[in-house]
Amino acid sequence: MIPRRGRQRQGARPGGFSSARPCLRLADAMSEQAVVTRFAPSPTGYLHVGGARTALFNWLLARHTGGRFLLRIEDTDLARSTEQACRALLEDLRWLGLHWDNPQIMYQSRRLEVYNRVIDDLISRGLAYRAYETPEELDAMRREAEARREVFIYRRRALSDEQVRRYEAEGRPAVVRFAMPVREYRFTDVILGKEVVLPAGQVQDFVIRKADGMPTYHFAVVVDDAEMGITHVLRGQEHLLNTVNHIALQEALGYRRPVYGHLPIILNMDGSKMGKRDRDRKIRHHAHLWLKARRGAAPDLAAACGLPAERVAAWLDDETRQLDVDEQKRVMEAVGLTESDLPEILVHDFRRNGYLPEVLLNFLALLGWNPGGDRERMTIEEMIRLFDLKDVGRANARFNREKLLAFNTEGCAAASPQRLVAAMRDYLAANPDSPLQQADDTALERIITMKPGFRTLRELDVVSRFLFMPDEGICYDREAVDKVLRKHDGQGIAVLRDMHTILAGVEDWSAAALQAVINDYCAGRSLPLGKVAQPLRVAVCGTTVSPPIFESLAFLGRQRTLARIARCLSLL
């Protein structure tokens, strides 16, 4: 029979950890005082605001202490990790200004040789072993535990040499599990401010290498943190109990234990957990409505979006399943959804919708951190100076979009025209279909100064895009036409005819000169300005909402203004 913990070597401590083995302190070359943090996302989609908050807190801690902030890509889930998602993730971090200090990013998928060498060492020392249970056998073991009203705890099965040889001859897939010493585990969480305890009765052996040969998160993260010299690990509360597994591996491998802190959860305003599944939930709801209207089923939707029917059916039936970014786009196109219909939960959402990155960072910093007093609005430099882990709270934080929108409105109002032009360039890079793509920096600055008080760059884009559209691309809002032009026996139409004639004779096409001409027209006919400005708005932009009308006409120029008025009159 194979013993539970393998043959103990001379000098071994209880639990199987050898005191004779030299510690692999990979970070010893660094100063004991140097803080090294990391952000280690999985490239399975765009960066979620929760991940951005985690990156920000690690970045702030490193910058505040004069330490280093490192980036690692945890891409061992080959089925879900994509190069496209990785590029998008890096772009989001750069947009936020969370620049990392390691010149070469660590990619876990490129380190299999390192992981296998460490795993082989653990196996040779009896601290890890191959396990051959099939998924069906594990399910049966869980059901047996449930029948006994017990929590399923996996412990190493006693297999004879003959059984092992038979499994290997059959080609049965094997995982590698870490032989977790059965004892009580304790660690102090720097954010929770207390000691976290896992009783010995809840300890179980866990997988460190999957059957496909890839290391698990719990294993790779320990090896990588040690090699990168990470001193502080700040991450979400969902990893709290995982920390025990990581500590046990660190002890087995002789690694130094970093300081752990688990951040409060980010909630929606209704108290539900904010997560990537919110997008899938919205898309799934509309997909069901789409199918109901057509009396269809999953294969019909699969055919419409070009995805496997089994994949679509499983996603429709299981609220926990998620589509990747490309799959989401396909389903959205099929059911008639756009990005603006989805809840803003990704950094990319806020970038596309025209939020300033410095405002978003300020807002995210307040989701769990209180710098003291009533202070909320801060620059990046102020956040770096004030950040302290002792001020990070334990209570869950609610993501108040109205508050963020108010922050952004204030941020846009306070920003210089030059800053807003640069921000518009970033915004347009994320919105390649905007007509403002053709605007140069001078035109963008004119638009910004024409329309003060905008809340987002998208709002500025939408209200200004008529200035860059071809004349024939202007679509007239029916309600605006009826209310402003046709009402009162076509009073607005008569105003447009007069304006076309009068404006054709104007030589000085500046906003001030146009204002004087139009004011004279209003005074001569005892009309309030709105009775002239609104018909002009409808004629040149198709609706009643635009930047100030005089500046808009000056921007368009005489030829385009007259052409749009003439086109509007011809279509009535």
129's enclosing H/E stretch is strand 128-131
User: Per-residue pLDDT averaged across 495-507, rounded?
Assistant: 96
Asked which of 447, 467, 487 is the last residue of a domain, the reply is: 467
Tokens of 484: 């402003």
Q: Which of 43, 36, 162 is nearest to 93 (CA)?
A: 43
- Residue 418 pLDDT: 96
- Does residue 427 contact residue 355 with C-beta atoms inside 8 Å? no
Q: Contact, 230 vs 36, CB < 8 A?
A: yes
The answer on 351 and 456 residing in a single domain is yes
CB 16 within 8 A of CB 127: yes
φ/ψ (deg, to 5) at 151: -80, 130
Do 459 and 452 contact (CB within 8 A), yes or no? no
Residues 431 and 370 occupy one common structural domain: yes
Bridge partners of 397, per DSSP, are: 266
Complete edge-to-edge strand list for the sheet that includes strand 128-131: 128-131, 175-178, 206-209
> Can you give the C-alpha Rg of the chain in angstroms?
31
Evaluate whether residue 482 is within a structural domain: yes
Same-domain check for residues 384 and 294: no
**Residue-wise pLDDT tens digits, 219-228:** 999 999 999 9
Bridge partners of residue 262, in order along the sequence: 235
Lowest mean pLDDT, pick from 3-7, 331-335, 385-389, 465-469 = 3-7
Render pLDDT for 230-250 as a digit per residue (tens, 0 to 9): 999 999 999 998 999 999 999
**Strand ranges (E), 474-552:** none
Question: What tens digit of pLDDT does each residue of 49-58 get?
Answer: 999 999 999 9
For the entire predicted model, the pTM comes to 0.86
* Strand 266-267, strand 106-107: pairing: unpaired
pLDDT of residue 1: 28
pLDDT tops 90 at residue 23: no
What is the pLDDT at residue 324? 79
Q: In the listed set 435, 467, 499, which residue is the last one of a domain according to the structure?
A: 467
| Residue, of 293 and 22, whose pLDDT is higher | 293
Return d(Cα 64, Cα 31) in angstroms, integer.
Answer: 16
The whole-number pLDDT of residue 4 equals: 34
Looking at residue 32, its pLDDT comes to 58
- 355 and 457 fall within a common domain: yes
Residues of 326-351 as b/e, b for ≥16 C-beta within 10 angstroms? Answer: ebbebbbebbebebeebebbbbbbbb
Report the mean per-residue pLDDT for the chain.
90
**Closest alpha carbon to 350 in 533, 96, 545:** 96
Is position 220 within any domain? no
| Residues above pLDDT 90, as percent of the chain | 75
CATH code of the domain in which 282 resides: 1.10.260
Cα 156 from chain centroid (whole Å): 39
For residue 11 the two structure tokens come to 């000098």
In a domain? residue 233: no
Calculate what percentage of the chain has a pLDDT beyond 70.
94
| Structural domain contains residue 376 | yes
Q: Rounded to an integer, what distance in angstroms lies between the CA atom of residue 202 and that of residue 344?
A: 38
Q: What is the DSSP string of 3-50?
A: -SS-PPPTTBPTTS-BTTSPP--TTTTS-TT--EEEE----SSSPBHH
Its sign, for the CA torsion 104, 107, 111, 114, is positive
What's the per-residue H, E or C state across 263-289?
Answer: ECCEECCCCCECCCHHHHHHHHHHHHH
State the Cα–Cα distance between residues 97 and 358, nearest whole angstrom.
8
462 and 479 housed in the same domain: no
Asked whether the predicted pLDDT for residue 277 surpasses 60, the reply is yes
pLDDT at 19: 31
Beta bridge partners of 267: 273, 398
- For tokens 């100076």, what's the residue? 385
In a domain, 80, yes or no: no
User: Is residue 392 in a domain?
Assistant: yes
Q: State how beta strands 185-189 and 175-178 pair.
A: unpaired
Length of the chain: 572
Pair (317, 389) in one structural domain: no
- The helix (run of H) or strand (run of E) holding residue 235 is strand 232-236
Note whether 558 and 458 are same-domain residues.
no
Q: What is the CATH number of the domain that holds 495?
A: 1.10.10.350
Residue 252 lies in a domain: no
Of 231, 265, 249, the C-alpha closest to 396 is: 265
Tokens 């005489």 sit on residue: 558
What are the tens digits of pLDDT across the range 360-380?
A: 999 999 999 999 888 899 999
Task: Fill in the amino acid letter for 313.
Answer: A
In 3D space, the residue among 406, 405, 403, 369 whose CA is nearest the CA of residue 384 turns out to be 369
Q: Identify the domain containing residue 324 by its residue range.
A: 277-338
Q: Which of 449, 467, 485 is the last residue of a domain?
A: 467
- In terms of domains, do 459 and 485 share one? no
Asked if residue 395 is part of any domain, the answer here is yes
Same domain, 386 and 463: yes
How do residues 142-173 score in pLDDT, each as one tens digit? 888 888 887 888 877 777 788 888 888 888 89
The rounded distance, in Å, linking the Cα atoms of 446 and 441 is 9
**Domain count of the chain?**
3
Domain identity same for 408 and 456: yes
Q: Residue 207 forms beta bridges with which residues?
A: 177
- In Å, what is the CA distance from 54 to each residue of 222, 300, 339, 356, 454? 18, 40, 25, 19, 30
Ramachandran area for residue 454 (φ above 0: left; ψ -120 to 50: alpha; else beta):
beta
Q: Indicate the residue type of 515.
A: Q
486 and 554 fall within a common domain? yes
- CATH number of the domain at 381, please: 1.10.1160.10
| Interatomic CA distance for residues 59 and 387, integer angstroms | 10
pLDDT at 213 over 90: yes
pLDDT tens for 376-396 read: 999 999 999 999 999 999 999
Opening angle at CA 324, ends 318 and 328, nearest 5: 80
Could you tell me if 455 and 523 lie in one domain?
no
Residue 22, pLDDT score: 33
Continuous segment of H or E residues that includes residue 142? helix 135-147
